[in-house]
Amino acid sequence: MRNRESIGFRIALGFFSIVILMAALGLFAALQVHHVYTMFEEISTHEMRAMSHLGTIQNASQKQAVLIRDITSYEDLSIQKTAVKTMKEANAEIDRTMADLNKMASTFDAPVAQLFSDINQLLLAVRPLQQAAISAVQDMEIDVAKDKVYKELRPKQAELNTTLDRAHTILEKSSHDSVTVAEKMVQRLVLIIGVCTAVGAILAASIGWWLTRTIKEPIVYAVAVAQTVANGDLSSAIHVRSRDETGQLMLALKDMNEHLSDTVSQIRDGSESIATAAAEIAVGNFDLSSRTEKQAGSLQETAATMEELTATVRQNAENARRAQQLAEEASQAAIDGCVAVAHAVEVMDTINKSSHAIVEIISVIDGIAFQTNILALNAAVIAALAGREGSGFAVVADEVRALAERSSKAARQIAALVGESVSQVESGSTMVHQAGNTIEQLAVSIQRVSEIVGEITTASNQQADGIAQVNVAVAELDGVTQQNAALVEQASAAADSLKQQSERLAQLVSVFKIAHKY
């Protein structure tokens, strides 16, 4: 049964039904009581009053019998006058009472009304006899008066008394019967009121049971549903059986259960996804940490290599400076040789020795150029490994290689010239003039060598400065790498914490039991 009415309407309907029932019961009881009251009022107003009137008439009639006896028995005129006066008063009382009885006759049944009519006729018959007896006494006809009294008046009075007694008996019996009927009516009224009260109580109890059932059962069902949800079971189907307040409550519980089920399902799926993502992040962070550590090691090795390269370049620069000094000295010696060409023969041996020394120096220069070439090659490789930041250094390295090759070439040329010079010295003084020319050319070549060595020195210094900048960049890159490694460790720790929290969330959500949706 689906209750469409609200709880307030049903409660109001129940109480209104009980009120109507009690009002109907009260109205019925009031009507019955009024009926009994009317019956008792009729008894007290009509029958008892009629009996009282009959008694009054009977007393007055008996009083008149005594008075008429006194009038006919005593010759005292004062007694007679008093008796006549009293009789008239009694007649007046009888007339008033009889007039009231005649008015009440219509309220009684036919036998009683007939008795009232008979009494009225007897009273009308007695009155002339009384007057005739009184007139006879006044005419001093005492015997005639007594005959009227005892032969005519007394029988009528006796008949009147008999009729009054019969009417009184009938009214008394009627009053008793009315009282009996009223008592039975009261008993029946008490029984009916008791039955109606019992029926009303049963109906009220039924209404209360109906109200309790229609209100309690949905509330008990709602409590059971709420307890099921509180225990984490979201899989039960909630049925809305009414459209009243309890039905609205069940509809709200149903919506809450469905929303909780969807939320828990989404949280469960989300926690699983978070756990999977956290695990993948942890694995990725571990790999990134390993690669970062390897990168940091490679940067440290690169920094060490760059320091060695810096030392080598500075050494090359120092050697180039020394070679420049030697070239300047050789140039000065060549100039001096040009001046002292006249004394060439004498100092030929010295020149020969100097030539050998020059050959050795040129060999050193050639070796330095070779080493510079190798270092420039290594610097180019390192610059290539450095990528974009080492592009400038690569250009410098190429220039150094070119200078080294030129130095080597120049050294070979000088060696050839010196060899030729030695041959000319050995050839003799005839070749002095040619030697002078050769010495001049040697001076020019030495000057060129000095310039080349100066360029090598400058290039070496530039290489040293560039390598120093590369060292700074490598140091900064190493610091950034160390910071990245620390951040990777923090990210790994955060990923582990996230994984633990997602597992904890999944464990908490696992207590909920939800319905499977297909």
Q: Which two tokens stand for residue 402?
A: 């070119």
Average pLDDT over residues 7-35: 71
Tell me which residue has tokens 């290489």.
463
Dihedral angle computed from the Cα positions of residues 310, 311, 313 and 317, in that order, rounded to the nearest 10 degrees: 130
| pLDDT at residue 334 greater than cutoff 70 | no
pLDDT at 73: 76
Pair of tokens at residue 114 = 């007939």
Position 518 confidence tier, pLDDT thresholds 50, 70, 90: very low
Query: What single-letter amino acid sits at 309?
Result: L
Stretch among 37-41, 122-126, 414-418 having the lowest mean pLDDT? 37-41
Counting every residue written for the chain, the total comes to 518
**Residue 15: which pLDDT band, with cuts at 50, 70 and 90?**
low
Compute the average pLDDT of residues 28-42.
65
- How confident is the model at residue 402, as a pLDDT? 81
* pLDDT recorded at residue 6: 64
- The three-class DSSP label of residue 242 is coil
Query: How is residue 354 written in tokens?
Result: 């100097």
480 pLDDT above the threshold of 70: yes
- What percentage of the chain carries pLDDT values higher than 90? 0
For the segment 473-492, the average pLDDT, to the nearest whole number, is: 73
Q: Averaged over 95-117, what is the pLDDT?
A: 78
Q: How confident is the model at residue 517 (pLDDT cuts 50, 70, 90)?
A: low
H or E element at residue 3? none
Q: What is the pLDDT of residue 501?
A: 78
Closest CA to 333 of 350, 317, 312, 316: 350
pLDDT, one tens digit per residue, over 46-68 is 677 777 888 888 888 888 888 88
Confidence of residue 276 (pLDDT cuts 50, 70, 90): confident
Q: Is-contact 393 386, C-beta < 8 A? A: yes
pLDDT above 50: residue 1: no
**Cα distance from N-terminal residue to C-terminal residue, the chain:** 31
**What are the C-alpha distances in Å from 219 to residues 154, 212, 251?**
93, 10, 12
| Residue 324 confidence class, pLDDT cut points 50, 70, 90 | low
Nearest to 124 by CA among 151, 99, 147: 99
| For range 488-516, the mean pLDDT | 71
pTM of the predicted model as reported, rounded to 2 decimal places: 0.36
Residue 107 parent element (H or E): none
Q: How confident is the model at residue 331 (pLDDT cuts 50, 70, 90)?
A: low
154-168, 261-275, 318-332, 369-383: the lowest-pLDDT one: 318-332
pLDDT confidence of residue 63: 84
User: For the segment 119-165, what is each residue's pLDDT rounded down to a tens digit?
Assistant: 888 888 888 888 888 888 887 888 887 888 888 888 888 888 888 88
Q: Which domains does the chain have, with CATH numbers?
A: 7-217 (1.20.1330), 279-514 (1.10.287.950)
- pLDDT, averaged across the chain: 74
